[in-house]
Amino acid sequence: MEVLIGYMIDGRNSGIDKYLLRVLRVFYDAGIHADILTGKDNVDLRACLAPFKAEIHEIPGLMHPQKQYKAMQKILSQKAYDAAYFNISEPMHCIGAKAAHDAGVPRVILHSHSTSQGESSIVKAFLKSFMNGRSRNKLPKYANDYYACSKAAAKWLFPSELVEQNKVKILYNPIEVERYAFDSAVRAKMRSVLGFSEKDIVLGHIGNYVMAKNSAYLLKILQKTREKLPNAKLLLIGDGPDRLAVEAQAKEMFAAAEENHVYLMEAFAYQHSPYLTAIREEIKNGTIGDIRYMESAYITSDYNQNNIRMRRDTLGGCTYDLGVYNTSLILRTLAEEPTEIRAIASFSEEKIDKLTSVIMEYGDGKKAAFSCGMVLATDLDRHIDRFEIQGTKGSIKGTGFEFNGDGELSYTVTMFDGKEEVKTVSVPQNYRLEVEQLGRCVSGEETPAVTKEFSLANARIIDSILKEIGY
């Protein structure tokens, strides 16, 4: 028997992934072979699926429904499946089920694992609600078996008539209870490791940091609990996009600063350089015409493994450490956020990105690209600092440039009519310029070179890149 299963992430961090791995074990032991659908093939997923001899099919995400449907058609045309099983959280996630139905798969199974669409943005929530409403009534057409992990999950995903007619089977998530049997020695050890005393009342939550888990509400629960039990502590275990949401963290920092009458400006020292001011003046004056393309790179030597930049727990990786320079340079130069971001990364064994490449597209058709990485020789303090801007009349290239560099820095203006000029800018120490500007802002003489709006825009770009590479 051949079964197609969707969708898995990496086999390790998601509760759904762990659930599906248990299903795969049962299938494998029963002689049922299963193949897997994923949005992004990766090393972790292959390692988890290796014992089951499952074939991995990478398909486009739900942002591209037509592409996903066509990819599904291709997969289903190459192999005859007896059943297709889809665990989904929203009705509009039914593209795979539709493709399986259209391909004539005898048994198409839908399994609900959520109770809401989980969206904080009002606009996105409205659009999702509309799409989910349209998709919900189509589910009986695409599938012939329906499951849910709870009654609430059944009511959320499936049309009411299916639930009322008891056509949705409730299948609670299984737990291997023997793995979680109480052990006083383990309890004492973990309390010691985590810094909890015997008197502390520990509240625990295990789950990914996504809106649907409502981790923020747990903090409110803790606050209320501590009013009566001051020794209560909250332990959050998990990972996910909301844990490292850069924009959210930036907003929180700016809000805290404003509330406490503290002046806050993000520390991009190179943004204060007269070198960049000169580049922006060239663009403003139309020297190279309208910008069509910009690229940059910031690549350094490989670091010792003890360096905080090389560890996941200290938010290591080249995007956090170096990519922010590229994004802020491009954002300052182009003066707008991209409409679409594509990125790919090479990860280390410590699961931090060591080399990342990014393509950004804008509403008017121009594009930007950059690379960042920590891949050069470890025995030398080497780095690559580069940028080039292409316009409709010519180009500007940083020929004597480095991020946070000072002294005599040069750039070359090359016109399409053959004229070329090397221009040099005398740059003082950038960190001094940064501190001096901050002082003038505090005294009310100037507005910041790196504004709150700029920092939040750059944070949104970084968030998109991290999500795209699967950090």
Q: Per-residue pLDDT for 212 more than 60?
A: no
pLDDT given for residue 245 in this prediction:
59
Domain boundary among the residues 111, 136, 170 is at 170
Q: Which range, of 56-70, 71-85, 315-329, 360-374, averages the lowest pLDDT?
A: 56-70
Q: Per-residue pLDDT for 213 more than 70?
A: no
User: At 5, phi and psi to the nearest 5?
Assistant: -120, 135
Its pTM surpasses 0.75? no
CB 145, CB 109: distance < 8 Å = yes
pLDDT given for residue 356 in this prediction:
96
pLDDT given for residue 442 in this prediction:
77
How far apart, in whole angstroms, are the C-alpha atoms of residue 255 and residue 369? 32
Q: CA 373 → CA 202, 313, 315, distances in Å?
A: 40, 19, 15
Domain boundary among the residues 141, 170, 199 is at 170
CA torsion, ordered 91, 97, 99, 101, to nearest 10 deg: -120
CB 113, CB 139: distance < 8 Å = no
User: Structure tokens of 88?
Assistant: 């989904």
pLDDT given for residue 100 in this prediction:
96
Average pLDDT over residues 462-468: 89
Number of domains within the chain: 3
Domain boundary among the residues 170, 202, 228 is at 170
Average pLDDT over residues 292-321: 86
Q: Per-residue pLDDT for 448 more than 60?
A: yes
How far apart, in whole angstroms, are the C-alpha atoms of residue 106 and residue 246? 46
pLDDT given for residue 124 in this prediction:
64
Answer yes or no: do 372 and 310 share one domain: yes
Average pLDDT over residues 379-384: 76
Whether residue 248 lies inside any domain: the answer is no
Average pLDDT over residues 407-428: 94
Q: Which range, of 77-81, 123-127, 342-346, 413-417, averages the lowest pLDDT?
A: 123-127
pLDDT given for residue 238 in this prediction:
61
Average pLDDT over residues 197-211: 76
Q: Given pLDDT bands bounded at 50, 70 and 90, which one contains residue 310?
A: confident
**CA quadruple 273, 277, 280, 286: dihedral positive or negative?**
negative
Answer yes or no: do 132 and 232 share one domain: no
DSSP 8-state symbol, 37: E
pLDDT given for residue 123 in this prediction:
58
279, 209, 242: which is closest to 425 by C-alpha? 279
Answer yes or no: do 288 and 193 share one domain: no
The predicted-structure confidence for 226-281, as pLDDT tens digits, reads as follows 888 888 887 766 655 555 556 676 777 777 777 777 778 888 889 999 999 999 99
Answer yes or no: do 308 and 381 share one domain: yes
Residue 91 vs residue 306, higher pLDDT: 91
**CA quadruple 375, 376, 381, 386: dihedral positive or negative?**
negative
Among 1-10, 181-190, 419-428, top mean pLDDT goes to 419-428
User: Structure tokens of 72?
Assistant: 């599904």
The predicted-structure confidence for 348-374, as pLDDT tens digits, reads as follows 888 899 999 999 999 889 999 999 999
How far apart, in whole angstroms, are the C-alpha atoms of residue 366 and residue 447? 30
Neighbour tally for 458: CB within 10 Å: 24
pLDDT given for residue 32 in this prediction:
94
User: Structure tokens of 272?
Assistant: 């204060």
**CA quadruple 439, 444, 447, 453: dihedral positive or negative?**
positive
Q: Per-residue pLDDT for 40 more than 90?
A: no
Neighbour tally for 43: CB within 10 Å: 11
Q: Given pLDDT bands bounded at 50, 70 and 90, which one contains residue 12?
A: low
Answer yes or no: do 209 and 317 share one domain: no
pLDDT given for residue 294 in this prediction:
97
pLDDT given for residue 57 in this prediction:
93
How far apart, in whole angstroms, are the C-alpha atoms of residue 303 and residue 320? 15
pLDDT given for residue 13 in this prediction:
62
Q: Per-residue pLDDT for 214 more than 70?
A: no
Answer yes or no: do 48 and 112 share one domain: yes
Answer yes or no: do 281 and 407 share one domain: yes
Answer yes or no: do 154 and 200 share one domain: no
How far apart, in whole angstroms, are the C-alpha atoms of residue 51 and residue 166? 37
The domain that contains 107 carries what CATH number?
A: 3.40.50.2000
DSSP 8-state symbol, 231: T
Q: Per-residue pLDDT for 211 more than 60?
A: no
Residue 48 vs residue 299, higher pLDDT: 299
Q: Given pLDDT bands bounded at 50, 70 and 90, which one contains residue 449?
A: confident
Whether residue 273 lies inside any domain: the answer is yes
The overall average pLDDT reported for the chain is: 86
pLDDT given for residue 192 in this prediction:
83
pLDDT given for residue 125 in this prediction:
67
Domain assignment of residue 192, given as a range: 182-237
Whether residue 307 lies inside any domain: the answer is yes
Answer yes or no: do 197 and 287 share one domain: no
Answer yes or no: do 23 and 69 share one domain: yes
Among 193-197, 248-252, 338-342, top mean pLDDT goes to 338-342
How far apart, in whole angstroms, are the C-alpha atoms of residue 33 and residue 50? 13
User: Structure tokens of 235?
Assistant: 């332990």
Residue 235 vs residue 332, higher pLDDT: 332
pLDDT given for residue 117 in this prediction:
66
Q: Which range, of 45-49, 199-203, 236-240, 437-441, averages the lowest pLDDT?
A: 236-240
The domain that contains 347 carries what CATH number?
A: 3.30.360.10
Answer yes or no: do 141 and 200 share one domain: no
Average pLDDT over residues 297-320: 83
pLDDT given for residue 121 in this prediction:
52
Own/partner long-range contacts of 455-460 (Cβ < 8 Å, ≥24 apart):
455/250, 455/254, 455/266, 456/247, 456/250, 456/251, 456/254, 457/331, 457/337, 458/266, 458/324, 458/327, 458/328, 458/331, 459/246, 459/247, 459/249, 459/250, 460/246, 460/247, 460/337
Q: In this prediction, what percent of the chain has a pLDDT beyond 90?
A: 45
Q: What angle do CA 454, 459, 464 make, to 5 degrees?
A: 130
